[in-house]
Structure 1
């Protein structure tokens, strides 16, 4: 069973905003920010590890640092997961994609040990989406061919609380990182905290090798 806590919406400071934005046909907003990534890239190269995996792990860590990105609606309840995972697409041999499920781990070495075999298998299998029932995750895709300045994200249903993120090509030391947030849970302040934490992790990639606590584990 996936652990979560139920938010008491009667005493929740966000209740009025939550009720307001839940009435919107689409309460989501997209934000694209250029992030300094040259040091992260050089660290990956110097250590002989995947730049894609190192960036993905930093994104996973940053996402889990913001409680609002882990909040969802479950039936008639508002809940918050102590920890969320990431789903990411891997290109297959026929240029489709197969999504893999990546768990949040205490350090990058544990992450790459678990993720690398999944990536290798996905590359050689048929393209297909990964369907899950729970929402204890977010979606993150790499678009390494384009250094974009804006992007919108596909939605399974309008108003989904699952954050969707895309990062792009490294150019002049920076990569664009775009994320879709649900305004019922996330304001500009919370989105900014995510990007600030991501910037900090990209600027100090050595910290990704140091063990950190993972809630709910």
Structure 2
């Protein structure tokens, strides 16, 4: 929490706003990872999800939450993302993350299939305590279009402390690089535009590092 104390005065300002949320949409520039995934039979969405979640935890500002009107720092978070079920309705997938690439992807794929197969809305955090519910990052993907911006539904803006990340359709293959339309929503008391920049850079670095650590045999 030492880093947070350096910006507590900023937090105290933004926490008084009716809407303290920062929303930034950008274009992520990444190493082209789809051939890497194809060679190793890894689903590209779940590979990218692994890299995004791994990158988030390296930036302290995205780990702050509000619990019982006090700022806390979570040490880990749930793996979660949205899916479309068989009725073409929204559902939530949830899984326990793993540092191991293949194990984490297996878990996220399994969670996605479970959510897709459920007609009922599941994994809404109703089964979690208020403290456990803070250990989350909201993830959604809209692969059908090149997303320009997004505004997430908020129950109470002042209490919205959990970051929400979204991305759209991957760019067409074109050499060694690719782009992804990407959006970050976070409490401005914790996160500035600079920290969104750090996250974007961390995601690209993570993609490159994971690819380098898993050469083709």
Which of the five TM-score ranges fits, normalised by the shorter chain? 0.7 to 0.9
* 1:192 corresponds to 2:197: yes
Q: Is 2:56 the partner of 1:63?
A: yes
How many angstroms does 1:38 deviate by? Answer: 5.7
Aligned residue pairs total 203
Equivalent residue of 1:35, what SS? strand
Q: CA RMSD in A?
A: 2.2
1:76 to 69, 84, 93: 69
What residue number does 1:157 align with? 156
Distance 2:206 2:29 in 1: 10
Note the residue ranges of structure 1 that are not aligned, 5 or more in a row.
1-6, 211-217
Contact 1:36 1:202 in 2 (8 A): no
Deviation per CA, 1:115-174, whole angstroms, max 9, x where unpaired?
222222222211415222421111111100011222222223203110001111012431
TM-score (norm: length of structure 2):
0.85
The corresponding residue for 1:20 is 13
- Residue-by-residue CA offset, 1:56-81 (whole Å, 9 max, x unaligned): 11110111111111101111321101
Structure 1 residues 208 and 154: CA distance shift in structure 2, 3 A? farther
1:203 corresponds to:
208
Mind listing any 5+ residue stretches in structure 2 that lack a counterpart?
A: 173-177
Residue of structure 2 in register with 1:136 after alignment: 135
Cα distance in 1, alignment partners of residues 136 and 154 from structure 2: 14
Tell me the TM-score normalised to structure 1 length: 0.85
Q: Residues 96 and 127 of structure 1 are in contact (CA less than 8 Å); yes or no, is this contact kept in structure 2?
A: no
Could you list the runs of 4 or more consecutive aligned residues of structure 1 that deviate by over 6 angstroms after TM superposition? none
